[in-house]
Structure 1
Amino acid sequence: MFSARFVVLTIVSAIFSSTQSLSAIAQSKPISPTVSKSQTVQLPDSLNPSPNPLDLPTSPEQVRSQQAQPITLQQAIALARKNNRDLQIARQTLQRSQAALRQVQAAQLPTLNTQAEIANERTARETLDDLKYLNEKSSPANVLSGTIEVGYDIFTAGRRPARIRSAQEQVRLERLEVERLSEQTRLDVTNTYYDLQETDEQVRISQAAVTNARRSLQDAISLEEGGLGTGFDVVRARVQLGNAEQELIDAQSQQDIARRRLVELLSLSETVDVSAADPVRQAGRWTLSLEDSILLAYKNRVELQQQLAQRRIAQQQRRIALAGVRPQVSLFANYQILDDFNDEFSFKDGYAAGARLRWNFFDAGTARFGAAQEDANRAIAETRFAQTRNQIRFQVEQGYKNLQANARSIQTATAALQQAQEGLEIARVRFQGGAGTQLDVIAAENDLTRADVNRLNAILNYNRALATLQRAVSNFSKSKSTNSFE
């Protein structure tokens, strides 16, 4: 008897020690954080928001915008990857999935539990026996009891490994989501930055139009005073100047809105205002063919990998569902002590060791229908894979065609701008010499403004198409594809 108890105690203590060591090893494995792409650009600390996400300003000084600080496109992208709220939520979701993985991995270790109880007992049966047989009241029993038990599931019909693999795929899915959002944020910031550049150029063009209109007004006044012009020419020039000033006001308003939109996207400090530091110029060239671009997109786009991860999750969830009607086997060993303080004996002990079998023979189809749901989820993931593949191809083709069209538009718009500048000079000289009319000057000014806007739109639309094509291919950088992007 003593040897059997000693064996049980030895087993319990050995499993307890191994549980502690395995748990320590598991906890020593760090959860690898998701690190965004490294940035070599310098980021001023004044742009970063408050580290407290629950911070809420309460005074006008805390929300009053300061003078706009110029930032480059690369700085804007780096700030977005650091501060963008959607990206932060995606990283936090990844951390939650990593913790859930650690939770299901803990099922690989044995469980150890203990309980102790001290009680003053007197049952109703004991009271009745006293009345029947002794006709006197016995003292209540003071009892101390305790149990320590270790258990381990040795066979789960595939449920435990399926849960672990499902959690691993969920972590992979969330990590891919962080990467997808990072790429999408880069595109959103790039387009918003180009929108800001467009409003800056619209302000410049409007200011130039106001300057030209004022010059035309001065010319009209001078000609009227010299007897070569009419009052109608002066009135028309004033109308032209008023229209140009109104367009300048509208452009400045759109510029302010574009700046605040970029600040919101970058999640910057409450008092920060930014402006575009980069000049408007053609961003680069794409030298890959359309076919190579499509194949590179199929290789790189994480959206396709996400659908494959969803498919694998559905497969593992199906195994979990079917395990509900399959046998489960576990081992257990426990050691108990009991002591009644009212008797003359010392504490008594006992033990138990064995195996348990659990088998749910009939569950009214719950497991089968759960497996059918996961079969449907797997089919949905496969269909979405095909749908996403078609969308990716269209995005690449759309960006590629737009890039080619806008490249030709830049050449045409640049030539038209030069001709419009020459035309305005000629019209102004003819008007000052009395050979032309004020209407010719106004038409030439309008042509110059239109040509300047067309060239601006051609360059920015080219840059937007290039950014869209980069996003469609994804994970595209100069460092690993120097032959494809210049």
Structure 2
Amino acid sequence: MGLALALGLGAGPGAGQPLPAASGDDGRRLERRWNELDRQIRALEELLPAEEAPPNGVAPASPLRSPQDTAPLPPLALPEAASLREGQPQALSLEQTLAIGFANSPSLQARREEVAAALAELQSQMGTYWPRLSAFAAGGTDQASTSFFSPTGTGTLFAPSNPFFIPPGGRGSLNTNANGVATGLQLRYELLDFARTPKARAALASLRSGRLAYADALRRLQLTLSESYYQLQRADQLVRIREAVVRNDLLILQDSLDLKQAGLVPRLDVLRRQAIEADGQEQLIAALADQAIARRRLAALLNLPPQLTPAAGDPIRLQPRWPLDLEASLVASYRDNPELEALLATREALLQQKDAVAAGLLPKLSLFASAGASASNANNWNVRVADGGCCGATVATSLNTYGSDWSVGLAVSWLLFDAGTTRGQARALARRGAAVAQQYAAQRNDIRLRIEQAFFGHEASLARLVAARRGVKASLEAFRDARLRYQAGLSSELDLSNTQERLIASLVQRLEATVNVNVTYAQLLRELLPMPTDPEAPVPARLQWAP
């Protein structure tokens, strides 16, 4: 690819022979090209500086935007067309990226809501240790029409002058309107409930599991954000390299055209330089597309407003060598690991739920008490009698009634037979607990594999970086030597192009090795970095870990 810089001028008709003498104008033009070439080589050499020095052309990250500027859309909202127009990319440092991600991440916010729900469930279960007191009130009205008929009457019991006398066949009717109200208090207290304590312990274990899962989600998010940021830095650096390559290819192509007109190089060299320049343009376009994708991927992880596009504001800084050996890293990763502890808490919750279900077969003893008062009013009207009358002499026109009552007692309930339903539910929960134990074993093995992969990858990336630095240095020297050989007629344009390709490959390999060192360091941090389990606690954006 095109770093053949102004030296990439094609060899003359006889490769390996000294070039014919150029005219004064051609010599001055070539001298300007060589000076531009030297400047471009130095710029390329500085694209990946030492760890202490920031790369040229990278603007420092701007101050962290206010929470209003980086606040995401509401969870159930969709962006409008105007907000989808991208503005000027906003430079963010890695620490700013982590801070915004921890604040805005929808998946992390979902974890916080789950922890809050588990806390509310625990509070609900703790309320079962207290008595339940409720008030009740009822009121209503009704109306009825009543008819009376006595076929035999009461002649044998009462004399006709008695108000209770009813002649045979006596009839009567009346309408009644009744209004009533009752109110009172009811108390119920579970004196003995064997399922109450296991339910509360299960809720406590579920809360602990949710908090540990939240801490593990913080670790995973730190890794995802760090990897995305490092990949964005890589994409930015590749764009710079490809832009420098294209600039140099254009210089070389122009020189080749000038020398072709002067008859100093064959047409083949010009065509080769045109193909190399076109390939460089293609790779620059691909690098720009990768850069845009990396920015949008980071914006999605940060849950930024649709019009805001992040850019990597930090220079590429090399993380230090991992401070622990492999065995110490494995031991430290198992200690207080929220991923493993969350599985243990989940298993504990399932076993406590099993005990709570099994307690449904045991007796329950409850205390109950109630007290209340009632009042009613009955109005009778339209009282009529026929055939000598019936039942009307004792009808009151209006009757008010008042009363009160109270009760207290003990209630015992005991489920004697449910066809194995309760025992089946308990066995199912026990099996789920056993399944979680197997998940713990699998997760323990996964953690070891991730630690070993990250550790070996980190060591290999450091070694590759040392080799890549030597390769870049040797490639630069080889390119300068090839230029001098070409000037002396001892090398062809094809040799110079091949040397240029090797230099570009060395620069890319050095970039890849540097990014891989940081990525593998972040992967090791994912397994060992302490994170808070309380969603209300601040989350430190620490990027290094020390024993």
2:242/2:284 contact within 8 Å kept: yes
Structure 2 match to 1:470: 525
Give the superposition deviation at 1:383.
1.2
Question: Any residues of structure 2 matched to 1:39-438 within 5 Å, and which?
Answer: 43-45=64-66, 47-50=69-72, 52-59=74-81, 61-121=82-142, 127=146, 130-132=148-150, 135-138=171-174, 139-157=176-194, 159-342=195-378, 347-438=402-493
Give the superposition deviation at 1:154.
1.0
2:189/2:367 contact within 8 Å kept: yes
Structure 2 match to 1:7: none
Structure 2 match to 1:449: 504
1:146/1:338 contact within 8 Å kept: yes
1:420/1:448 contact within 8 Å kept: yes
Give the superposition deviation at 1:300.
3.1
Structure 2 match to 1:439: 494
Identity %: 29
Once the two structures are superposed, what CA deviation does each residue of 1:258-296 show, in whole Å capped at 9, x if it has no partner? 111111110011111111111223122212111111111
1:321/1:367 contact within 8 Å kept: yes
Aligned-partner Cα distance in 2 for 1:363–1:408: 68
Give the superposition deviation at 1:205.
1.5
Give the superposition deviation at 1:179.
1.1
Give the superposition deviation at 1:427.
1.6
Q: Which amino acid aligns with 2:104?
A: N
Aligned residue for 2:172, secondary structure, equals coil
Aligned-partner Cα distance in 2 for 1:200–1:428: 29
Give the superposition deviation at 1:413.
0.4
Indicate how the Cα distance of structure 1 residues 269 and 219 shifts in structure 2: closer, same or farther if over 3 A, else same: same
Indicate how the Cα distance of structure 1 residues 340 and 280 shifts in structure 2: closer, same or farther if over 3 A, else same: closer
Indicate how the Cα distance of structure 1 residues 222 and 461 shifts in structure 2: closer, same or farther if over 3 A, else same: same
Please tell me the root mean square deviation across aligned C-alpha atoms, in Å: 2.3
Structure 1 match to 2:41: none
1:223/1:432 contact within 8 Å kept: no
1:220/1:438 contact within 8 Å kept: no
2:64/2:92 contact within 8 Å kept: no
Which is further off, 133-142 or 429-438?
133-142
Once the two structures are superposed, what CA deviation does each residue of 1:421-475 show, in whole Å capped at 9, x if it has no partner? 1111222232233322110111011001100111111111111111111112232
Structure 1 match to 2:50: none
Aligned-partner Cα distance in 1 for 2:374–2:93: 76
Aligned-partner Cα distance in 1 for 2:253–2:345: 68
Give the superposition deviation at 1:363.
0.9
Q: Which amino acid aligns with 1:465?
A: T
1:187/1:468 contact within 8 Å kept: yes
Q: Which amino acid aligns with 1:361?
A: L
Structure 1 match to 2:165: none
Structure 1: tracts of 5 or more residues without a match: 1-40
Aligned residue for 2:79, secondary structure, equals coil
Give the superposition deviation at 1:135.
3.5
Aligned residue for 1:459, secondary structure, equals helix
Aligned-partner Cα distance in 2 for 1:216–1:424: 14
Higher normalized contact order (CA 8 Å, seq sep 6+, divided by chain length): 2
Question: Any residues of structure 2 matched to 1:25-44 within 5 Å, and which?
Answer: 43-44=64-65
Aligned residue for 1:420, secondary structure, equals helix
Aligned residue for 1:228, secondary structure, equals coil
Q: Whose helix fraction is larger, Structure 1's or Structure 2's?
A: 1
Once the two structures are superposed, what CA deviation does each residue of 1:192-246 show, in whole Å capped at 9, x if it has no partner? 1111111111111111221332233244334434443222112211211111111
Aligned-partner Cα distance in 2 for 1:266–1:424: 43
Give the superposition deviation at 1:398.
1.1
Once the two structures are superposed, what CA deviation does each residue of 1:399-433 show, in whole Å capped at 9, x if it has no partner? 11111111100000000001111111222232233
Aligned-partner Cα distance in 2 for 1:279–1:308: 42
Give the superposition deviation at 1:72.
0.9
Structure 2: tracts of 5 or more residues without a match: 1-61, 154-169, 379-397, 532-539
Alignment: residue pair count: 439
Structure 2 match to 1:5: none
Aligned-partner Cα distance in 2 for 1:44–1:481: 24
Q: Whose strand fraction is larger, Structure 1's or Structure 2's?
A: 2
Aligned-partner Cα distance in 2 for 1:241–1:443: 14
Once the two structures are superposed, what CA deviation does each residue of 1:314-363 show, in whole Å capped at 9, x if it has no partner? 11111111122111111011112232324766521111101111111111
Q: Which amino acid aligns with 1:147?
A: G
TM-score by length of 2: 0.76
